[in-house]
Chain A
């Protein structure tokens, strides 16, 4: 029940802070840009856009939300309510993942005319969004100002982008598939271009395990840096 209330609160906060407005504008922009691309590239462009949308938006939005809560001092108050760190993190992650799913499916339905695998797409966006939101939280938890956050996020972002870029150039390097961004991308790409069931199940299981452990790590960071570390 409390987590549901936390989710309602997060949605209200994100709405009032204008996050949804930004999200709608971005989604419309994506749709317009994809609309200009020749049909023969759509099979590649749509999965790339759908992948970057939940991942990058989740990563940036969670940073913005946590920094706003820190600057307004709200986070300091939340830690002395019955809301647990895990509930706090799960609620934030769900709220941004719902957005990512809505935007991902909206872009797909408007711009992609062929058939695609709804379930794989849903799971691909879900697992990617959860990972990037939690990852973004790691960056934001150690920062006290927006400037600090902007500086700190660059190396964190590169850690995830570089393996993906290398994978695009050298898709045969198997070890890269174990990187969460590559796994997430392959799932979303597979939803549009086909993927073996066993491979999809492998990515889903792998990403679920990664997300579970990332949640535990982030919860630990939250308790250590924010509750006990006096970072508030």
Chain B
């Protein structure tokens, strides 16, 4: 669906490349996470694919055609939800959806159902300038779907949402995947990426050092272990044992037999730990 080959990009008037020869391939029906700290090149790459930046080197093939060769009809087939809600503040929620949907050839999806799904149906006739950030983000999210696009770009889709609404958004993204939509997810939230993405690309300083599924990354780079917390007199002590070779290790069994256990937890490296390990950078 999207094939990026040897992509280089520098902003006009600057000699510094912000994107340095990146390569990736996103299949149809895949949720692809693009992860990295601020200024790593996430938004620039997304803007190139969307077509807002065109003076790039290399190739960006999307839906079987080089991005530069697409005309305005390209926008009939993609949806974008930016990381900040850019809505008409003096119009109501429903008017915002109606207005944008009128620019597309396709008959819009049922707006009331979409509003209901994200908990905004009762607010459909309220002006946006009275909405909270979370409400605006939810409306921003469904606006990208009204024309039933094939590829959807989400930039921090759960930013500013409470856990319940974030869960609804994540469920909707997974449903879209089931329907065969291709999703390009830009985020620095590793938990969201871990829950949703089939594969993730880490981007740092314009380069992609690794692309893989979150599960594979954990197997390859994570140190699985067991952490045992037990009482020793009035103190609490903690010991950690690698899962690999656990059955040959007599110390955990000894603790179980001789100590009063406070907690036992299996330890898994998070995607964030792996990101830091591989890139030497934090996701801020």
- Give the interface of A toward B (CB within 8 A): 2, 5-6, 8-9, 12-13, 16-17, 72-74, 76-84, 227-230
Residues on B with C-beta less than 8 A from A77 are: 80, 82, 86, 100, 143
Query: Given A73-B86, A74-B86: A81 and B95 within 8 A (CB)?
Result: no
Q: Across the interface, do B102 and A9 meet the contact criterion of CB distance under 8 Å?
A: yes
The smallest beta-carbon distance between A52 and chain B, in angstroms, is 28
Q: Say how far A62's CB is from chain B's closest CB, in angstroms.
A: 17
Q: Are A12's CB and B95's CB within 8 A?
A: yes
Give the 9 A-B residue pairs with the shortest CB-CB distance, closest first.
A73-B86, A5-B102, A16-B90, A81-B103, A83-B103, A82-B75, A9-B99, A77-B86, A82-B72
Tell me the complex Cα distance, A16–B96, Å.
12
Tell me the minimal C-beta distance from B14 to chain A in angstroms: 12
Q: Which residues of B contact A8 (CB under 8 A)?
A: 102
B54 within 8 A of A: yes
- Asked whether, in the complex, the Cβ of A81 is within 8 Å of the Cβ of B99, the reply is no
Kindly state whether residue B73 has any CB partner on chain A within 8 Å.
yes
B86 interface neighbour in A76, A83, A227, A229, Cβ under 8 Å: A76
* Min CB–CB distance A43 → chain B (angstroms): 41
Q: Is B255 an interface residue (CB 8 A)?
A: no
Cβ-neighbour of B72 out of A5, A72, A84 (below 8 A): A84
CA distance A78 to B80 in the complex (A): 11
Q: Are A79 and B99 in contact (CB under 8 A)?
A: no
CB distance from B7 to the nearest CB of A (A): 17
A2 CA to B73 CA, complexed, in Å: 13
CB neighbors of A among B40-94 (8 A): 47, 50-55, 72-73, 75-76, 78, 80, 82, 84-91
Which residues from B are CB-within-8-Å of A229? 12
Tell me which residues across on chain B come within 8 A of A227, comparing CB atoms. Answer: 52
- Are B88 and A74 closer than 8 Å at their CB atoms? yes
CA distance A79 to B105 in the complex (A): 16
The 15 sampled A-B contact pairs (Cβ below 8 Å) are A2-B102, A12-B95, A16-B88, A16-B90, A73-B84, A74-B86, A76-B86, A77-B80, A77-B86, A77-B143, A80-B50, A80-B51, A83-B72, A228-B53, A230-B53
The reply to whether A82 and B105 form a contact with Cβ atoms under 8 Å apart is yes
In the complex the two chains form, is B104's CB within 8 Å of A82's CB? yes
Residue of A nearest to B96 (CB): A74
Residues of A within 8 A of B53 (CB): 228, 230
**Of A6, A12, A13, A228, which one neighbours B103 at CB under 8 angstroms?**
A6
Report yes or no: B91 in contact with A80, Cβ–Cβ below 8 A.
Answer: no
Are B90 and A80 interface neighbours, CB within 8 A? no
